Amino acid sequence: MSSLYTVQLGHGLGLIDETRVLLELWQPGMNAPALHRTALESGYFATISARRLHDMIAVGFCPRYLINGALPARLLKAIKGVLSRSELEQLLFLYTARAHLVLADFVREIYWPAYTAGKQTLGNGESLVFVEQAVRDGKTTSAWSSSMTKRMSSNLTSCCADFGLLARGSLRVRKILPFRIEPLVATILAYDLHEAGLGDNQLLAHPDWAIYGLQRDDVLVELKRAALQGALIIQAAAGVTRIGWKYKSMEELAHDIARRQL
């Protein structure tokens, strides 16, 4: 993930339904040009231009799902058929936030403080202030114009709506919706971080959890809830947490999820 904010989030926002189709079309080893050709030939995207489809794949889909040896795409392709819509949306949210720091920071710094403060709505006004401050602080790849900052402020709230954090629709001010990480999503994220080499206590403090509104103690609560499904064993005492892992890899975990054994 880039350490600077880019405008790439605007190429599709959440891309939830499009990602479902692209995951169906994608095969291991397929790169962006090959996926673009396959998508064009499939007829699923007949209502959009070839250029728009190219941007959707190259700028939207690939940076989110074809990274780390296409691990996100391989995982999602294997399990998407058994996931609830909420589970799928929350996983796509994770990979989108990882690919787009501007979204991750907006959710962590603006959305969740508003949520925990009991605010009922969040609008483009708050997101515009966030984007303008980011430009002043030099967090963007270039000095965005006024029109670009307004577009990005709208993109941020629209993307949050795509992922179920805010009400959907063409709204300048949106209702903040109840949101809690799904146990299966918590399990997958824990395994993902474990496979990346994090120790158990490092894992609990990783910033990925914060996009779901979770701090270390909250993560422990959610992992205890997720452990009821059997993929994890949580032992916590005197500030030290140990996690027992039923599966040796994400592939093994995905296999049982696909069989809906979790």
Distance CA 255, CA 175 (A): 37
Range name among 1-10, 138-147, 217-226 with the lowest pLDDT average: 1-10
Closest CA to 156 of 116, 211, 208: 211
Model's pTM, two decimal places? 0.93
pLDDT tens profile 200-228: 889 999 999 999 999 999 999 999 999 99
pLDDT for 155: 93
pLDDT tens profile 41-100: 998 888 888 888 999 999 999 999 999 999 999 999 999 999 999 999 999 999 999 999
Whether residue 2 has pLDDT greater than 70:
no
Q: How far is CA 169 from CA 157, 164, 166, in A?
A: 10, 12, 10
pLDDT for 141: 86
Give the residues across from 242 on adjacent strands: 235
Token duo for residue 239: 């500030």
Whether residue 184 has pLDDT greater than 70:
yes
Closest CA to 236 of 219, 213, 253, 249: 219
Distance CA 260, CA 209 (A): 24
Whether residue 1 has pLDDT greater than 60:
no
- How many helical (H) and strand (E) elements, i.e. helices and strands, does the chain have? 14, 4
